[in-house]
Amino acid sequence: MNEYRVKGLSCGNCALGLEQQIKQLEHGESASLSYNSGKLKLDPRVSLPDVEQILKSDHAYIDLHSHPAQHNKHEHAHESNHDHTHDHSHEHGNSKMVKLLIVSAILYGVAYISGDQVYSGIQIGMYAAAIVLSGYSTFVRGLRNLFALRFNIDTLMTIALAGAVAIGEWKEATLVAVLFGLNELLEGLGMEKARRSMETLLKAAPKEAVKLENGREAVVPISSLTIGDLVIVKPGEKIPSDGVVMSGKSSVNEAAITGEALPIEKENGAPVFGGSINNEGVLHIRIEKAYKDSSLAKILHLVEEAQETKTPTELFINKFAKYYTPIIMMVSVLVILVPPLLVGGDWSKWVYQGLAVLIVGCPCALILSSPIAIVSGITRNARNGILIKGGVFLEQLGKIDTIAFDKTGTITKGEPHVEKMIVYREQQFLAVAGSIESTSSHPLAKAIMKKVAELGVDFMAPDEIQTISGRGITAVVQGKPYWLGNEQGMEHLTIPADVQTQIDDLKNEGLTLVLLADKEQVLGMFGIADEIRDESKTVIAELHRAGIRKTVMLTGDHQKTAEKVAKSVGVTSTFGNLLPEDKVNRIKQLSLHGKVAMIGDGINDAPALATAQLGIAMGKGTDSAIETADIVLMQDHLGKLPEAVSVAKRVNSIIRFNIGVSLGLKLVALLLTIPGWLTLWMAILSDMGATIFVTLVSFTVLIGPNKR
């Protein structure tokens, strides 16, 4: 599919109409036009001049700064940044429209104030000039649509204004034309602002890099970089693509990828993300991924894609709008005909009422109820390093009432640490344990060595060492034999009852035990656990406050270990000893009683992520997480999750509120026809007021308070 950027789309309903017309062209069945992102996707065989002609009917056009791109998962993901250039022609069009509306408003004001003091022909001339200046483009589009029997807002406005002029309502017709022009301008600006907020986010993409080759520096476009290239990044510059620091030391701002404001220290061997900003030192970086495969390129591509997916609510609104306008047109005809024919009403009065009803038939505010709020919500979360792959997933996140967590690496750090230590022989215990474990790379050994280092204990290298599978290690330190490991490794001893009681107590707490003994007795023991993340307890509490009814922890660990972690962080229930297929079954059971999101690391939890209504991966930019889940937390913690849930719930409530306001104002306008009180300007204000209102309310998603 070829992809184009379309400018000048006047409203969501009009974009739907244009899409339907393009679909009717030869090979156009698969075409899609997104009002949210302003993107048009076309089969390469579709006649572009025919498409341009259809777009021209709505004063829309294909942006000449953009070029067709093959649409696949990663290719051209902001390769040239052409999509993000400021469109001066569109800005010029807006300023021209503002000037025309000001002139039209002045003409209307002069004609209205002058009243009977001037010749009626001059007054009508001023009204006519104001109508033409503010509504010329509407009339042209409306007449074209009328001849093609397409009934959108332009067609309805053209019929209504022509009818008003025909019955001599010049003043009303002029006011409606000016208000409608203002409404169109504001509606276009509203969606443009939502797109601009997204484009500001997308500007994180770097454009050039300083490549080091044969000792020489050369500025090259990032698209030319290949794996293995060496680049220099100076203070204040963006890192061009994912890579590894080869030399230099600096702090790096990774906010564009993770949403974290605090800089991260980087030195030799440290991984870096493309798009992050180098703060102070000079870094030499070896490129590990071509830019189009980098974390940032994938994020930006997926964020853009997210704008184009239609949510169930949007699909319903679009379907509703298809039937709404024809029904209103039938109501308009009945309003014109029934009172004069059945009860002898005045034809002029009821024709006027019927024309006003036609204007109420515009579904623009209704169609605008959702897209600005959706784009704002996706943008807000993306700025926080939370990648939501589509409006449908944002809407789903707002409906979730149960969240299931993997334990290791999600609620916990996935790193063992010494939680408890019982010492019987203080002088020997830590020194000998450090001596033995210093030779091992086992995760439990690392936890013990970290504790030894914290306490500043000196130790010597062991004389001899031997690993016994499933039991631990035997070693000789300073000529004396020692045994380090689990209970099975202590078979040479008779463990006293009081020591056994302490062993049992630690096991009951869900701790993994490492004992140290010499020939005669146990010298001490370490109780080791997976370290709970500092923020986990706070996050769980905030999720419950945000409306999540049930939090569940699923883990392959022992049930007692799971219960201990669950109790300390505050999840409502936990299940231990689970294999991957057991996690899937638990998710299915939970789904019978609510809407479930599953949070994991995107690799070993993939089956459970796929089974849940919503899969959320903790990524820190990892490829597997970005590919697997519906939502990706680009940090390596859950800290931003409660805000994401709150934003999603807020977006859903705003959309519901917007729909209620849009339909409510129209219903009030229609009810005013019963006593014959509906006027043309009331009808246009019911739509205009709703449009402005839903736009402003939708923008509150972007400027709302941060939770953390």
Let me know: does 61 contact 55? Beta carbons within 8 Å: yes
| pLDDT classification of 278: cutoffs 50, 70, 90 | very high
Q: Across residues 483-506, what is the average pLDDT?
A: 91
State how far Cα 307 lies from the chain centre: 9
Say whether pLDDT at 503 is over 70.
Answer: yes
Quick one: pLDDT at residue 292? 84
Pair of tokens at residue 350: 């009821």
**Of 115-119, 465-469, 578-582, 584-588, the least confident:** 115-119
Higher pLDDT, 657 or 5: 657
Q: Cα(212)–Cα(207) distance, rounded to whole angstroms?
A: 17
The separation between the first and the last C-alpha atoms of the chain, rounded to the nearest angstrom, is: 41
Please report, rounded to a whole number, the percentage of residues in the chain having pLDDT higher than 70: 88
pLDDT of 82 strictly over 50: no
CB 336 within 8 A of CB 268: no
101 in Cβ contact with 134 (< 8 Å): yes
pLDDT, position 275: 86
Helix axes 371-383, 641-671, angle to 10 degrees: 170
Cα torsion 291, 295, 296, 301: sign: positive
> Which range has the worst mean pLDDT, 60-69, 334-343, 471-480?
60-69
Catalytic positions: 406
Sign of the C-alpha dihedral computed for residues 62, 63, 66 and 71 taken in this order: negative
Q: What are phi and psi of 382, to 5 degrees?
A: -65, -35
Give the separation between CA 103 and CA 378, rounded to whole angstroms: 39
Longest dimension (CA), the chain: 121
Please state, rounded to an integer, the average pLDDT across all residues of the chain. Answer: 83
Across 501-519, average pLDDT: 90
CA 200: distance to chain centroid?
Answer: 14
Would you state the pLDDT for residue 89? 43
Q: What pLDDT was estimated at residue 510?
A: 79
Cα distances (angstroms) measured from residue 133 to each of 100, 129, 181, 321: 6, 6, 9, 29
Res. 90 pLDDT band, cuts 50 70 90: very low
Across 69-88, average pLDDT? 38
Specify whether the backbone of 396 is left (phi greater than 0), alpha (psi in -120 to 50) or beta: alpha
**Residue of 98 and 239 predicted with greater confidence:** 239
- For residues 201-226, give the mean pLDDT: 85
At 201, list the tokens.
């986010």
pLDDT digits (tens, 9 = 90+) for 609-649: 888 999 998 876 566 666 778 898 888 789 899 999 999 99
pLDDT for residue 431 is more than 80: yes
> What is d(CA 699, CA 708) in angstroms, rounded to the nearest whole number?
20
Q: In this structure, what token pair is assigned to residue 481? A: 């034999």
As a whole number, mean pLDDT of residues 592-599 equals: 93
pLDDT digit string (tens) for 188-200?
A: 676 666 666 666 6
Q: What local confidence, expressed as pLDDT, does residue 402 receive?
A: 96
**Cα–chain-centroid distance for residue 44?**
30
- Compute the average pLDDT of residues 161-190: 80
Phi, psi angle pair for 277, to nearest 5°: -110, 130
Q: What is the mean pLDDT of residues 69-73?
A: 41
Residue 230 has pLDDT above 90, yes or no: yes
Provide the pLDDT confidence category of residue 73 given band limits of 50, 70 and 90: very low
Is the pLDDT reported for residue 1 higher than 90?
no
Mean per-residue pLDDT for 80-86?
A: 36
* CA distances from residue 14 to 3, 95, 184, 454, 705 in whole angstroms, order as listed: 20, 21, 11, 67, 34
- For residue 78, the model assigns a pLDDT of 38
- Determine contact, residues 19/318, Cβ cutoff 8 Å: no
Neighbours of 38 (CB within 10 A): 25
Q: How many angstroms separate the CA atoms of 582 and 560, rounded?
A: 18
| Higher local confidence (pLDDT), 228 or 120 | 228
Specify the pairing of strand 243-247 against strand 283-287: antiparallel
pLDDT reported for residue 190: 65
User: What pLDDT is attached to residue 67?
Assistant: 46
What's this model's pTM, rounded to 2 decimal places?
A: 0.72
pLDDT tens per residue, range 306-315: 666 667 777 7
Which of 72-86, 243-257, 286-300, 682-696 is the least confident region? 72-86
